[in-house]
């Protein structure tokens, strides 16, 4: 979606952020999502990515997997999808890497290899939108052996692991990492339309 905005309305790109929702246990609980099991109103994703738009009049979240409106008012999305009033056990504690859209387009690369099993077969259906891929992009986490995310993959062309590690110094020039309370404050107070 960031790429589409950069091509169709580049002036708005400065208002856009890619938000990676994740944790080191690769299990984040989100509500109001497509794909939830019957009688279970939440999904546990290994990570999730949404677009945050800080508009002049509204702050919106675009989530291709939401059952809510698309785009959705950020406050409603936080209330219904994150449900901050519920206690979430530590293994499902969420972190948010907020990446400015221009930096995301320059630095992020994924060939979706994380969606394949070790035999190269899809674990699930891939999203319909095109991949964001740069074959020369270095994966620092794998290259530095900080995380054996996919030991079969080379350390170029796929750097998703760099974006979903809680404690790292990668991409500090284009992103910030927040815990849930700080992320909510960022969205509702810092980005609040004035």
User: What pLDDT shows up at residue 154?
Assistant: 54
pLDDT of residue 80: 96
Report which secondary-structure segment, H or E, holds 142.
helix 140-143
Number of domains, the chain: 1
Determine the distance from the C-alpha atom of residue 84 to the mean position of all C-alpha atoms in its chain, rounded to a whole number.
18
pTM for this predicted structure: 0.82
CA distance linking residue 24 with residue 43, whole number of Å = 17
**Token pair for 106:** 């320059």
Confidence at residue 85, expressed as pLDDT on a 0 to 100 scale? 93
Check which CATH number belongs to the domain holding 63 and give it.
3.10.620.10
Per-residue pLDDT at 150 = 47
10-residue stretch averages of pLDDT, the chain, 194 residues long: 79 93 93 79 91 94 95 97 89 93 84 70 73 63 46 59 77 91 93 73
Confidence (pLDDT) at 27: 92
> What is the spatial distance between Cα 120 and Cα 167, in angstroms, rounded to a whole number?
30
Residue 44 bridge partners (DSSP): 29
Strand partners, 122: 116
Domain that holds residue 181: 2-190
């Amino acid at each position: 979606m960031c790429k589409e905005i950069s091509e169709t309305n580049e002036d708005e790109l400065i208002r856009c952020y890619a938000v990676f929702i994740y944790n080191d246990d690769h299990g984040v609980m989100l509500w109001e999502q497509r794909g939830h099991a019957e009688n279970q109103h939440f999904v546990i994703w290994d990570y999730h990515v949404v677009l945050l738009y800080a508009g002049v009049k509204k702050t919106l979240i675009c989530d291709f997997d939401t059952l809510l409106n698309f785009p959705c008012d950020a406050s409603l999305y936080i209330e219904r999808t994150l449900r901050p009033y519920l206690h979430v056990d530590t293994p499902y504690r969420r972190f948010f890497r907020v990446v400015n859209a221009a930096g995301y387009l320059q630095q992020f690369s994924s060939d979706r290899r994380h969606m394949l099993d070790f035999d190269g077969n899809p674990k699930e259906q891939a999203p319909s939108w095109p991949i964001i891929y740069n074959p020369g992009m270095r994966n620092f986490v794998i290259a530095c052996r900080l995380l054996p995310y996919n030991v079969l993959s080379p350390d170029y062309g796929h750097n998703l692991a760099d974006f979903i590690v809680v404690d790292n110094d990668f991409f500090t020039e284009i992103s910030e990492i927040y815990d849930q309370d700080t992320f909510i404050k960022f969205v509702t107070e810092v980005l609040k339309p004035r």
